[in-house]
Amino acid sequence: MPFRGYIEGTAQPTHRRVTTCQRCVRDKDTDQVGIRIRYLTFFEMLGNFSFGDYYKRESMLWGWEFLTQVMKFPVERLWGTVYEKDDEGVAIWEREIGMPGQRVVPLGMDNNWWGPLAEVGACGPCAEFYYDLGPELGCGRAGCKPGCECDRFLEIWNMVFTEFYRNADGSFSPLASKNIDTGMGLERTALCAQDKPTVYAIDVFTPLVEAVASMASRREEPERAKVHTAVVADHARAYTMMIADGMLPGNEGRGYVLRRFMRRAMVAGRRLGIEKPFLAELPPLVADALCDFYPQLKPALDHIVRACRLEEERFREVLETGWNALREEIDHCRRNGERAVSAEVAFRLHDTYGFPIELTQEMAAEEGLGVDEAGFARAMEGQRARSRQATVVTALGEKGYGDFLQRHGKTEFVGYESLAAEARILAVFREGEPTERATEGEVDIVLDRTPFYAEAGGQVGDTGLLTGSEGQARVTGAFYGAEALVVHRCALDRGSLRPGEQVTACVDEARRQAIRRAHTATHLLHHALHQVLGKHAVQSGSLVEPDLLRFDFSHQQAVSAEQLRQIEALVNGRVREDAPVSVRRASLQQAKAEGAMALFGEKYGEVVRVVEVGGFSQELCGGTHLSRTGEIGLFHIVGQESVGAGLRRVAAVTGQAAMEAVWQAEDTIDRIAKAVGAGSREEGAAKVEALLAALKDAQQEVARCRERLAGMLAAQLVERAETVDGVQVIVEAVPASEKAVLAELCDAVGSHSKEAVVLLAAADAEEVALACKVSQATAKRGLSAGDLVREAAQALGGKGGGKPTFARGRGTEAAKVNEVLRQMRERIRQGLAGRT
C-alpha cells in the first residue's frame, strides 16, 4: 500500500492525518455478486489515516459521532466488534461510547486483526462498526450477531490500530508510532443511509438495473432474474472503470480479471435472454452516475465502448468454439450412457475457452445431463492451491529480504550521478540463505550503496563488477529484493567476497548508455503515438534493454504501415532536434497538475521524479536517461503485434542496432530481387507484384472450376429428385470432397423448387457431415430440417439440429450412411403423405 512506509516507520509522511476515497476492484467473492446483498466487484473505499497522531480512542469516538450525528443512523441499529484481547477497545465501546455490552462483540484474530499472518509487516487489532439490517435477513438463530455469515449484520467501517510489526520468526515488535488505518465502504454506507434492501438498489445502480431489465426478454423466476441483473449491473461498473484506468481484457493478471468480469456479464445477460451485444451500452450510464467524481470517464467513453465491442465479438467466437467442444462431450455421454459432463471437460472449458461453469451447467441441462460439480470444484481448488503455492514461494523468497530491510534500511542509490562507487557489503545470500563468504558460483549481494540500477519500470538491471581486496564478482543483474532494497545477482570470477568488506562497484558504462538510448526513445515513442493515434494510446507495459525496446499500448486495431512511418519519422525528428532531457523532483500532486504523465499500476511516493524531454514530453519515471535526444542516433521500428484484445506492441531498436536492422532489411530485399531474377530492388518489387497477381488469377480460376463442378453436381441431384405430393425430395450421399461446401450445395439444390426437402451427407474416414434444407412452404406443412438432421445424426452415432428450414449435424459411423439415408427418404415420404 502507498502508506506502508509511513506506518512501518521507513518513510516520513508529509501529513500526519490523511483522508482518502479509493476506487477498488475485488474478485475474491465474485460468485456472491447478486446472491448476497453486500458484495461488489467495484466499490469505493473511504479511509482516514493517522501516522503517529490520534489513535484508538479518538478514532472510535469520532467514528461514532460521524455515524450518529452526521449520518444520523439510529443508535439502536449500530453494533461494535473488537479484538477479543483488546480490553481497552471494549472499555471505549462500553464506557465512553455507551454501547450496551450485548452489542459489543469480541472476535478472534481471523476477524478482528489486520495484517500479514504468514509474512513480515505492520499489523494490529481492529474495531468495526456494524449496521443491523433487520431480523428478516438473519439466520433465525437466537445468538445471531456480527461475525455470523448471514446477511443481517453489515460491516460498514473497519478501524485498524497498527501498532505492531510481525517479524520473520512470527514474533511481534512495537512500531515506532501507533497508527490508524480505516476503511468505510461507500456503497454499503449508502445502503444503510438510503434504507435499501440490497446494495444493488442504491441510487448509483438504479439506471443500470433499469437498463438491463429493459433489455431482458426471458421470463425467469424473479429471484434468479434479480441475481443475473445485479451481476450485469455490477460488472458493468467494474469493467468500465478498469478500462478507463488503462486496463484491457487479457489472459493474465488484471487483464484476466477484467475479461472474467466482462464474460460473466455476457453470460448473465444471455440467461436474461439478451441476444444482442450489450456490453458497450452500459458504460455511458456508469459515466453519467460517476463522472462528477471521476471526470476521466467521459473523455474515455469511445475507447471503453470499442474495447467492450471487441471483447464481446471475441467471446462470441470463443463461445462457439467452446460450445462445439461441449457438444462433443455431450455426444460422448450419450454414446456411453453417462449422465454428467466430466469434471475434466468442465474445467478445460473454463480454463481454455473461458467458459464459466454456470454456462456449462445450463447447456448440459438442456440436453438432460448434469455436470460433475464436485470434481470441477476439486480441479479449481487444485488450481488455486498451485497459485497459492507460487505466491507462498515468492513470499518466502522475499521474506528474508523484507526482514533485512527492516533491520538495515534501504539501499542508497547513487547511479543517477555516477557509474562507480565505493560500498560496503551488508550481506551475501546463496539460494535465499545468508552466508559468511562467497567463494564460487552464483550469489546475491546487498550493498549499503550502489550505482547499479535495479530492474524496475520495464528497464532491465545494470551489469558490471564488484571488486574487493580478496576477490571480484561479475554483476549479472540487479533487482529489488524488497522495497528500496537493491540485490546484486553475482558470479564470482576470482577469490572471495564477504559481509563487511569494502568493494568498488562499477557499472558497465557502454551497456548503461545503450539502455539510456532505448529508454529515452520510449518517451519519444509514447509522445509520437499520442500524436498519430490519439491520447487513448497509453502505455500498458514496456521492456527496455540495450538499444532495444518493446512498448505496449492501448489501441483497438493494427497500426497501419503509413502510421508506423509517421511515428518513426516523428521520433527521428525529435532525435535530430537534439532536444535536452532534464530531470527534476516534485510533489506527486504538483507533477500531475503540470501535466506529467503517470502510468497506471505504478506506485509513486509523495515526491516523484519527472523526466522532461524538450518541451513536449513529461513523464514520471525512475529510469536512466540521456542528456540530449541526439545521443539516440537513430530510431527504427522493427515490428508490431497484438498482445491482447485492444492491446498492441511495437518493437524498435536504437543506435548501432538500428543501423544493423536497416542493413539487414536491405539484404533481405536484395535476396528477394535476386530470387525473382530482377536487376534492381525496384524491379524486384514489380516482379513480386506480378507473380502475386498471377497467383491470384490462378486461385480465382480454381474457384470458378469448383463452382462449375458444384453446379453440375447440383443439376445431377435435381435430376434424381423424387416428387412426393408436389414436393421435390432429394436425399443423397455426395463425394467427401464436398464436405466443406455441403451447406452451399444443399442450398443450391433446394433453390430449384418452391417446395423441396434436401438432405445431403458427405462421409470421409473421420466423420459424416449432414446438411438439410426444407423450403418455407414445406416447413409450414410440419416437416422440420432440425428434426430430420437430429434423427439422421443420432442414427450415425452423432448429433445435430437447427431451424425448421435449415440444419446441420455430424456422425461417426460412415458405414451406415446409405442405410440411414434410405430410412430418412422413407421417413420424409411418410411425413409428407401424412400431412397432405
What's the sign of the alpha-carbon dihedral 240, 244, 248, 252?
Answer: negative
C-alpha distances (whole Å) from 24 to each of 42, 183, 241, 584 are 6, 12, 9, 31
d(CA 136, CA 153): 11
The per-residue pLDDT for range 201-251, each reduced to its tens digit, is 999 999 999 999 999 987 767 888 898 999 999 999 999 999 888 788 876
Say what the pLDDT of residue 385 is. 64
Whether the CB-CB separation of 55 and 178 falls below 8 Å is answered with: yes
Say what the pLDDT of residue 357 is. 75
Whether the CB-CB separation of 646 and 248 falls below 8 Å is answered with: yes
Supply the DSSP string of 591-619, one letter for each residue: HHHTT-B--TT----SEEEEEEETTTEEE
Sheet order of strands, 539-545 included: 539-545, 548-554, 647-654, 635-644
Say what the pLDDT of residue 320 is. 65
Average pLDDT estimate for 168-197 = 91
Average pLDDT estimate for 524-528 = 96
Contacts with 435 (C-beta within 8 Å, 6 or more apart), sequence order: 428, 429, 443
Average pLDDT estimate for 430-448 = 87
Say what the pLDDT of residue 138 is. 85
Most confident range, picked from 81-85, 365-369, 826-830? 81-85
Average pLDDT, the chain: 87
Say what the pLDDT of residue 389 is. 45
Helices 343-353 and 357-366, axial angle in degrees (round to 10): 130
Q: How many CB atoms lie within 10 A of CB 117?
A: 12
The per-residue pLDDT for range 678-724, each reduced to its tens digit, is 888 888 888 899 999 999 999 888 878 877 777 788 888 888 888 88
The identity of residue 433, as a single letter, is: E
Q: Which of 99, 116, 211 is nearest to 172 (CA)?
A: 116
d(CA 804, CA 602): 56
d(CA 423, CA 501): 8
Q: Which of the four pLDDT bands, split at 50, 70 and 90, describes residue 359?
A: low
pLDDT at position 607 over 60: yes
Contacts with 765 (C-beta within 8 Å, 6 or more apart), sequence order: 814
* Percent residues over pLDDT 70 in the chain: 94
C-alpha distances (whole Å) from 594 to each of 224, 401, 591, 598, 710 are 50, 37, 5, 12, 69
Whether the CB-CB separation of 423 and 450 falls below 8 Å is answered with: yes
Whether the CB-CB separation of 499 and 426 falls below 8 Å is answered with: yes
Supply the DSSP string of 258-305, one letter for each residue: HHHHHHHHHHHHHHTT--S--GGGSHHHHHHHHTTT-TTTTTTHHHHH
Q: In 617-741, which ranges are continuous DSSP H helix?
A: 655-675, 681-719
Say what the pLDDT of residue 181 is. 93
Average pLDDT estimate for 470-493 = 91
Say what the pLDDT of residue 105 is. 94
Average pLDDT estimate for 788-798 = 92
pLDDT at position 544 over 90: yes
Q: In 41-80, which ranges are continuous DSSP H helix?
A: 56-65
Say what the pLDDT of residue 582 is. 94
Say what the pLDDT of residue 645 is. 62
Q: Which of the four pLDDT bands, split at 50, 70 and 90, describes residue 738?
A: confident
Say what the pLDDT of residue 361 is. 77
The per-residue pLDDT for range 497-519, each reduced to its tens digit, is 999 999 999 999 999 999 999 99
pLDDT at position 287 over 50: yes
Say what the pLDDT of residue 392 is. 35
Average pLDDT estimate for 40-59 = 94
Q: 409's torsion region: left (phi>0), alpha (psi -120 to 50) or beta? A: left
d(CA 780, CA 726): 14
C-alpha distances (whole Å) from 206 to each of 169, 199, 234, 274, 415 are 51, 10, 11, 19, 54
Say what the pLDDT of residue 836 is. 45
Whether the CB-CB separation of 130 and 17 falls below 8 Å is answered with: no
d(CA 697, CA 297): 50
C-alpha distances (whole Å) from 520 to each of 14, 154, 214, 255, 526 are 31, 51, 52, 27, 10
d(CA 341, CA 359): 12
Whether the CB-CB separation of 367 and 330 falls below 8 Å is answered with: yes
Say what the pLDDT of residue 393 is. 34
Say what the pLDDT of residue 792 is. 93
Among 155-164, 743-752, 762-771, 827-836, which stretch is predicted with the lowest mean pLDDT? 827-836
Say what the pLDDT of residue 344 is. 87
Say what the pLDDT of residue 481 is. 86
Question: Which residue did the predictor score with more confidence, 28 or 566?
Answer: 566
* Percent residues over pLDDT 90 in the chain: 48
d(CA 286, CA 289): 5
Average pLDDT estimate for 754-767 = 89
- Beta-bridge partners for 607: 587
The per-residue pLDDT for range 799-834, each reduced to its tens digit, is 888 888 899 899 999 889 999 999 999 999 988 876
C-alpha distances (whole Å) from 441 to each of 46, 494, 676 are 51, 10, 54
The per-residue pLDDT for range 608-631, each reduced to its tens digit, is 899 999 988 999 999 999 999 999
Contacts with 437 (C-beta within 8 Å, 6 or more apart), sequence order: 428, 496, 497, 498
Whether the CB-CB separation of 825 and 731 falls below 8 Å is answered with: yes
Average pLDDT estimate for 12-41 = 87
Query: What's the pTM?
Result: 0.58
Q: How many CB atoms lie within 10 A of CB 359?
A: 24
pLDDT at position 116 over 80: no
Q: 3-class SS at 468?
A: strand
Most confident range, picked from 224-233, 426-435, 743-752? 224-233
Record the cell numbers describing residue 181, joined without a space.
488505518
Most confident range, picked from 164-168, 183-187, 343-347? 183-187
Q: Which of the four pLDDT bands, split at 50, 70 and 90, describes residue 397?
A: very low
